[in-house]
Amino acid sequence: MSYESAPGLDVTLDGAVLRLRIDNPKRRNALHDESLAAFLAAVETASHDDAVRAIVLDGAGDDFCSGFDIVTRNRRRGDDPGERPRVGSIQRRLPNQAHRLVPMLLEVQLPIVAVVRGWAAGLGFQLALAVDFAVVADDARLWEPFLSRGFTPDSGATWLLPRLVGLARARDLLLLGRELSGTEAAEWGLVHRAVPATELVAAAEELVARLASAPTAAVGLTKWLLNTGAGLDLHHHLTNEAFAMELSSRSPDFTEVLQAFQERRDPEFGGR
C-alpha cells in the first residue's frame, strides 16, 4: 500500500502503526482542503491494508488541531467578491470532507489513538471524540467555537456530544461555549485519559504498542460492535455479535491463543 503526505499533514507508516501528524502550526494545526483530502486517503487506504494494526493521530508543535481553516478558505482576494467560494460551497463540500472523515474514523476496523495537547477546537475536538482512545495533556483546551463565530456546529458535534455526556453537558459546550481542560474532559468521560504534558507521549506510545500487538481482527470487530450497537435492538445486535465471533474465532490469532494455552505461554498475535 502507498501512503502520501501533503501540505499540512505528515503521513508515515512506522512498522504496523500508521502515524498521521497535522502540521500547520502557524494556524494552530487547522486542517484545510489539501490536508483533509490526504487524511481521508490515508485512513481509507489503511482500512484495507493488512500491514496496519493501529493508527496514531497528533499535531505538530503546541496544538492538536484548531478545526478547519475557514478564515483562509473564505478570505477575499483583493476586492473581487467573485474570488470567494460561491453560495452553497459548505453544503457541497462538507459531505466529502469533515462529514466523511468523522464516520470513517468511527467505522474503520483499526484502533485509533489521538495524542492531544494545546487546542482541540471544532473539528479538532470532534477528532478527539471520534477516535477510540484520546490521550490528552491535563492542560489541553477542548472547545466548540461555532456559536461564538456565528454559525452552527458541524463534523458530528451535535451527534457525538449528547451520546457521550448527555444533553445538559452538550448544551453547555455547544450553546454556551464552555472550554474544558484535558483533566475536565477525562472527568466527563469524553477522552480516555488525561496526563501531565511531560508524560503525554510516553502514555500514548504505551497504549499504541499494546493495540498494535493485539489481535487486530478481533479488535476491529469489537470496535464495530461498540459503535453500531446503540442504533440496534438487542436481537439484531446479538446477531452481529454471533457474526463477529464466527469471524474472529476462525482467525490465525485465535488459533495462536489455543496453541499458546496448550504450551502454557502468552500468545503472540500477528494481527491476522
User: Is the domain of 192 the same as that of 230?
Assistant: no
Tell me the average pLDDT across 101-130: 97
- Tell me how far apart the alpha carbons of residues 175 and 152 are, in angstroms, rounded to a whole number: 10
269 found inside a domain? no
User: Is the domain of 41 the same as that of 56?
Assistant: yes
Q: How far is CA 206 from CA 26, 56, 209, in A?
A: 29, 12, 5
The helix (H) or strand (E) run that includes residue 223 is helix 216-228
CA 117, 118, 120, 124 dihedral sign is negative
Least confident range from 21-35, 80-94, 97-111, 237-251: namely: 80-94
User: Is the domain of 184 the same as that of 259?
Assistant: no
User: Is the domain of 245 the same as that of 205?
Assistant: no
User: Is the domain of 101 the same as that of 205?
Assistant: yes
Q: What is the pLDDT of residue 207?
A: 98
User: Is the domain of 128 the same as that of 181?
Assistant: yes
203 found inside a domain? yes
Structural domain boundaries, residue 224: 216-263
Number of domains in the chain: 2
User: Is the domain of 167 the same as that of 227?
Assistant: no
60 found inside a domain? yes
Tell me the average pLDDT across 49-66: 98
Beta strand 141-143 with 193-195 is unpaired
User: Is the domain of 75 the same as that of 197?
Assistant: yes
* Per-residue confidence band for 257, with pLDDT thresholds at 50, 70 and 90: very high
User: Is the domain of 129 the same as that of 22?
Assistant: yes
Cβ neighbors of 84 (< 8 A, separation 6 or more) are 74, 75, 76
* Per-residue confidence band for 49, with pLDDT thresholds at 50, 70 and 90: very high
User: Is the domain of 87 the same as that of 208?
Assistant: yes
Would the pTM count as exceeding 0.75? yes
168 found inside a domain? yes
User: Is the domain of 59 the same as that of 108?
Assistant: yes
User: Is the domain of 35 the same as that of 158?
Assistant: yes
Give the domain CATH number at 46: 3.90.226.10
